[in-house]
């Protein structure tokens, strides 16, 4: 579907832009790796007016299957990386992003086909051109709860500080971690703020009624059916949480957004970009997944929430996506494509008369889209 508000849409960064000789796993272990994807970037505006993308780089073993064993990367204390191996016949490898260990029947246990760390990339103020890849400021794991990597950063500027939420992956837990920066470029890890399997935690950029707010997306293994009188579908929802200090979070009692009948979201959904404050309230771009193959179809939708009470949804559009994967953008990268139908929006900024969206395209590249700001009044 053509989106009438799109003014500009392009890939700004793809795996070929990344210098493997500056990638930590290849450099520290000497093993042959490749860049599977440079995608799902957090975005913020730096004090000098440039945009900063915090890009998730997925580095993977070049020859993952050797002598009947699957090889994958794990971070180890001492800031190094080790290669783990597992017999391929004990794995389900149908999803190119992760493999399932078949010997565990009673719980679902996975490994990742790549290992993600974060690379700050500075762009021109309109986000359309790269100025600098900051290899000296790469964010790698430092804690055992990050032994399988750091994923999907979202940056919110609150007051004078930049706060970045990320998803930390490990055998211990799958948690949300918080980083802080004074200048948008140098980040320090503050620790875990949401426990097991709460991905896509996104901070509102200012306090509301003296409290911090965040979008969350708790993910369980088990759901209960919705009532026959409800149009909601069972499964995960985007929720709100509030906090006095960014560290202790109380879930707001009503859920915020969930999959519904007659929408394009039938499966999963989660927050996307940090909410933008507009004349119509908080504009939240989020992702919703429709059933399609093994991975699903990921698209970007939006909602407006009340400025003073974000529990109140003023408008929800889960039927007409703002963004869908755009195959013409990745045509020249066809040799590298390993997924289809995935766009995953992770950043939004307003500049003059446009909204700049930053998204991961096909878990492969960073996509920048300019939307005409008429979207805010009319959509």
- Which spans of this chain sit near ligand MAN (rule: CB under 6 A)? 40, 97, 151-152, 295, 298, 342, 344, 360, 363
Measured from the CB atom, is 101 or 292 closer to ligand MAN?
A: 292
- Output the smallest distance, CB 306 to ligand MAN, in A: 27
- Output the smallest distance, CB 340 to ligand MAN, in A: 11
CA distances from 24 to 63, 232, 237 (A): 18, 44, 36
A 10 A CB-CB count for 373 gives 17
| CB-based closest residue to ligand MAN | 344
**3 state DSSP class of 355:** strand
CA-CA-CA-CA torsion for 169, 58, 348, 146, nearest 10 degrees?
20
Measured from the CB atom, is 131 or 233 closer to ligand MAN?
A: 233
Measured from the CB atom, is 110 or 255 closer to ligand MAN?
A: 110
The set of residues, in sequence order, having a beta carbon less than 8 Å from that of 211 and lying 6+ positions away, is 242, 243, 244
* Alpha helices in the chain, H assignment, sequence order: 24-29, 327-330, 374-378
- Output the smallest distance, CB 140 to ligand MAN, in A: 18
- Output the smallest distance, CB 98 to ligand MAN, in A: 9
Residue in 146, 143, 67 with CA at minimum distance from that of residue 112? 146
Rounded distance, CA 291 to CA 211, Å?
A: 37
Measured from the CB atom, is 14 or 40 closer to ligand MAN?
A: 40
The answer to whether 111 and 101 have CB atoms below 8 angstroms apart is yes
Measured from the CB atom, is 179 or 298 closer to ligand MAN?
A: 298
- Output the smallest distance, CB 234 to ligand MAN, in A: 18
């Amino acid at each position: 579907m053509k989106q009438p508000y799109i003014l500009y849409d392009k890939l700004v960064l793809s795996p070929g832009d990344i210098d493997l000789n500056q990638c930590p796993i290849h450099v520290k272990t000497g093993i042959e790796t490749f860049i599977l994807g440079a995608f799902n970037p957090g975005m913020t505006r730096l004090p000098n007016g440039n945009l900063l993308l915090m890009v998730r780089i997925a580095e993977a073993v070049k020859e993952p299957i050797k002598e009947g064993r699957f090889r994958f990367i794990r971070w180890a204390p001492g800031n190094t990386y080790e290669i783990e191996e597992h017999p391929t016949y004990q794995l389900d490898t149908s999803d190119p992003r992760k493999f399932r260990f078949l010997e565990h029947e009673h719980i679902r246990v996975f490994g990742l086909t790549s290992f993600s760390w974060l690379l700050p990339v500075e762009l021109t103020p309109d986000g359309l051109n790269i100025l600098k890849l900051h290899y000296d400021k790469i964010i790698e794991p430092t804690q055992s709860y990050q032994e399988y990597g750091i994923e999907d950063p979202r940056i919110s500027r609150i007051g004078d500080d930049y706060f970045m939420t990320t998803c930390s992956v490990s055998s211990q837990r799958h948690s949300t971690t918080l980083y802080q920066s004074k200048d948008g470029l140098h980040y320090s890890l503050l620790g875990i703020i949401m426990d097991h399997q709460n991905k896509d935690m996104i901070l509102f950029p200012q306090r509301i009624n003296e409290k911090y707010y965040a979008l969350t997306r708790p993910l369980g293994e088990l759901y209960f059916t919705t009532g026959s009188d409800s149009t909601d579908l069972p499964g995960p929802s985007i929720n709100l949480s509030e906090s006095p200090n960014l560290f202790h979070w109380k879930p707001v009692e009503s859920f915020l957004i969930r999959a519904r009948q007659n929408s394009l979201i039938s499966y999963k959904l989660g927050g996307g970009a940090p909410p933008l404050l507009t004349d119509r309230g908080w504009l939240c771009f989020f992702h919703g997944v429709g059933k399609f193959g093994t991975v699903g179809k990921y698209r970007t939708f939006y909602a407006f929430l009340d400025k003073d009470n974000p529990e109140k949804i003023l408008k929800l559009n889960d039927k007409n996506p703002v963004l869908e994967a755009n195959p013409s953008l990745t045509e020249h990268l066809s040799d590298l494509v390993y997924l289809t139908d995935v766009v995953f929006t992770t950043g939004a900024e307003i500049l003059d008369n446009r909204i700049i969206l930053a998204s991961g395209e096909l878990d492969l590249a960073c996509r920048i889209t300019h939307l005409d700001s008429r979207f805010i009044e009319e959509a």
